[in-house]
Structure 1
Amino acid sequence: MDEISALLEKANKSIEVADHLAYVTYPMVKEPKLGFTIAEHTLSACLNATDALLAYERMFKRIDHYPNSFVSKIDIMKRDIGPRYNIERKHIFIMEDLNTILSHRKKANLEFIRRDKLVICDPDFDIRTLTMEKVKSYVYESKNFLIRINTILKSKNDRRH
């Protein structure tokens, strides 16, 4: 249970940082590249919350051991855990989209700002854009996701004691 609590705490801290960067720091400095940092913190928060829920499920042997990869975790969330706890598909989609954008950025050899959009261009000239509005909506929805996960795990923990 300590592992689950630690993961939840990390998730809550990451979403607090993302929220602060999006709604306090960004309006002051107006630096569009903060969008990537906010996206990284948001994804980190969602993944830590997902890991906490997966650890909880594994502790009660509701799921088998799984590879420690993003794809397998998301697959388990879609297939087993999401329906069991009524987790909305849009939250899973947000994690997939953030992961795609951030992995695309790692491969990209060109990124620039155009009309308040972050434009990422990889070696194959595949172009992705990221706006602050999109990032802020992801932060907002991710906060709702974390509230849901916290509610699930706290209520389950309270019943055990």
Structure 2
Amino acid sequence: MPPKFIEYLQEANRITRTVDHLLYVTYPLIQDKKILIKILTELKKSTAFCINSILQYEYLLKRIPLYKDPKMNFKNFINKCAPRYQMSSIENQKITELFQIIENHKQSSMEFKKNNQLIILTETSQKIIKIETIKEFLQINKKLIENIKTQILDKI
């Protein structure tokens, strides 16, 4: 059985390939808001698997502690691991934005698509997400997977 960090990486890679297909093949044909929401949800899941892979690996090397609180682990990732895996502060902000969008989606009272944008309404705010932004999230996710492969798998 492979180590947990490899399992996380494999799952993130599988999800990312699926998201890529949904975004570049399926969505242009169907153009449904449910597909955009699914893409964002799966991107968040893939990014979380990538982060968990890094955290597990770094924990095994005794570079970082792991916490039961996911928010503490995320802070740990941003502060200690992200620089080691060539993630810029802008990319870290985009990852945080993706996670926040999913939180907004869970709390939203209404979502709709207008002019190739997804609009998520909550009781206190509205969030407009352009297709280009979703593509940026995907590119950051792919970069994170590649950085993990070069930093971890090439050393095993």
Q: TM-score by structure 1 length?
A: 0.88
Residue deviations 1:75-130, cap 9 Å, x none? 11221112233322233222211111111011111222222221111123x11111
- Which residue type is aligned with residue 108 of structure 1? S
More divergent stretch after superposition (112-121 vs 48-57) = 112-121
Q: Which residue of 2 aligns with 1:85?
A: 85
Q: Within 5 A, what are the aligned runs for 1:24-103?
A: 24-69=25-70, 71-103=71-103
More divergent stretch after superposition (74-83 vs 95-104) = 74-83
- Which residue type is aligned with residue 22 of structure 1? L
Q: Distance in 2 between matches of 1:95 and 1:151?
A: 20
Runs of 5+ consecutive residues of structure 1 not aligned to the other structure: none
Q: Is the 8 A contact 1:7 1:49 kept in 2?
A: yes
Q: Which residue of 2 aligns with 1:138?
A: 137
Give the 3-state SS of the residue equivalent to 1:119 in structure 2: strand
Q: Is the 8 A contact 1:91 1:145 kept in 2?
A: no
Q: Distance in 2 between matches of 1:44 and 1:37?
A: 10
Q: In 2 relative to 1, CA 129–32 (structure 1 residues): closer, same or farther, beyond 3 Å?
A: same
Residue deviations 1:37-96, cap 9 Å, x none? 111111111110110111011111111132341x22321122111223332223322221
- Which residue type is aligned with residue 32 of structure 2? E
Q: In 2 relative to 1, CA 72–22 (structure 1 residues): closer, same or farther, beyond 3 Å?
A: same
* Number of corresponding residues: 155
Give the 3-state SS of the residue equivalent to 2:129 in structure 1: strand
Q: In 2 relative to 1, CA 83–140 (structure 1 residues): closer, same or farther, beyond 3 Å?
A: closer
Q: Is the 8 A contact 2:117 2:128 kept in 1?
A: yes
Q: Which residue of 2 aligns with 1:8?
A: 9
Runs of 5+ consecutive residues of structure 2 not aligned to the other structure: none
Q: Is the 8 A contact 2:27 2:35 kept in 1?
A: yes
Q: In 2 relative to 1, CA 90–102 (structure 1 residues): closer, same or farther, beyond 3 Å?
A: same
Q: In 2 relative to 1, CA 9–65 (structure 1 residues): closer, same or farther, beyond 3 Å?
A: same
Residue deviations 1:18-42, cap 9 Å, x none? 1110111111212243211111111
Residue deviations 1:119-143, cap 9 Å, x none? 111123x111112121112112211
Q: Is the 8 A contact 1:108 1:123 kept in 2?
A: yes
